[in-house]
Amino acid sequence: AAGVIQSPRHLIKEKRETATLKCYPIPRHDTVYWYQQGPGQDPQFLISFYEKMQSDKGSIPDRFSAQQFSDYHSELNMSSLELGDSALYFCASSLEGLAQETQYFGPGTRLLVL
């Protein structure tokens, strides 16, 4: 079965640079979530989109923005990168964005900021 696809899988950037992470949800899933997971920490919810509209917002820094496109893929744009942004960034998808719907996680993008 098709899973959530994230690209790139690994990314190295320098401070103050920008990065764009992409997420392709499971076919027919209409909701996308972004999480940030630091080393040894649990995933922190950043933002979610349902039917191309922002549906919920968590601890996403103002330097980050995201959107969901007409084909339901989503991009997380990160600007003015800081060392502390180094983490695993997960995308998850589900149907209808309801809490009882299982979120299927992608493999993650490992971002390293030098």
Bridge partner list, 14 = none
The piece of 12-20, 40-48, 67-75, 76-84 that touches other proteins (CB under 8 A) is 40-48
SS3 109: strand
Is 11 among the residues that bind other proteins (CB under 8 A)?
Answer: no
Least separation in angstroms between CB 48 and other proteins: 5
Q: How far is CA 91 from CA 14, 15, 33, 45, 97, in A?
A: 23, 23, 5, 10, 13
Q: Three-state SS for 110?
A: strand
Peptide bond just before 8 cis, omega within 30 deg: yes
User: Where does this chain touch other proteins (CB under 8 A) — which range of 13-21, 42-50, 64-72, 77-85?
Assistant: 42-50
One residue of 41, 65, 77, 80 binding other proteins per CB under 8 A: 41
Site residues, other proteins (CB under 8 A): 4, 33, 40-43, 45, 48, 55-58, 88, 90, 92, 97-100, 102-108, 110
